[in-house]
Amino acid sequence: MKNEMAWATQKGFQNGFTLIELMIVVVIIGILAAFGLIMYQDYVVRTRLGEGLMLASTAKSLVAENAVNGINPLDSRWQGFVSTRNTSNISIDGPTGVITITGSAHAQNIQLLLTPTGNNGPLVAGVIPYGRVSWTCTEATGSVSQNRLPSDCR
């Protein structure tokens, strides 16, 4: 038996993991966890801002209806917005119809702008647009990572 153990040691056989191998595995798991956490944080902010986009659909319909009917200002009949956990405010600019969605602290106070245009260019209060009203979503400051924005705003 003693000769068999000596032979196994000489040939380089070992049982189990060494400390170095275990440390390498722990480091790899730590790196993967760090990347996963960053991606998860981006996902959380993106979905919270997505809630604001969904809630702004009422404002989008109102602006489009007012524009098609030539109503001035474009925010006419807007009743305002009751804040939620993720969206602190939704407002409409009367002359242009631009909708500003302001995220709450949970959504890092990011502001999204929904800009309406007709086939003949930007909407103007009192001027009936030609064709359908389409929307462009942008982030107000331009400094937020694209990974944190909903797909409509990238």
Position 75 in a domain: yes
Position 42 in a domain: yes
SS3 state at 99: strand
pLDDT in tens, 24-72: 999 999 999 999 999 999 999 999 999 999 999 999 999 999 999 999 9
- pTM (2 d.p.): 0.82
Tokens found for residue 93? 């600019």
Position 148 in a domain: yes
Specify the number of domains making up the chain: 1
CATH number of the structural domain spanning residue 79: 3.30.700.10
Q: What is the DSSP track for 125-147?
A: TTSPPSS--EEEEEESSS-S-GG
Average pLDDT of the chain is 90
Per mean pLDDT, which range of 43-47, 109-113, 119-123 is the poorest? 119-123
- State which residues form the domain around 69: 17-153
Q: What is the DSSP track for 112-123?
A: EEEEEEETTEE-
Position 5 in a domain: no
* Mean pLDDT, rounded, for 111-133: 92
Position 7 in a domain: no
Taking residue 76's Cβ as centre, other Cβ atoms within 10 Å add up to: 15
- Identify the pLDDT of residue 13: 61
Looking at the chain, the whole-number percentage of residues with pLDDT higher than 70 is 90
- Identify the pLDDT of residue 19: 87
Angle between helices 57-68 and 19-55 (to 10 degrees): 30
Position 1 in a domain: no
Rounded distance between C-alpha atoms, residue 124 and residue 95, angstroms: 6
Query: Tokens 């981006």 sit at which residue?
Result: 42
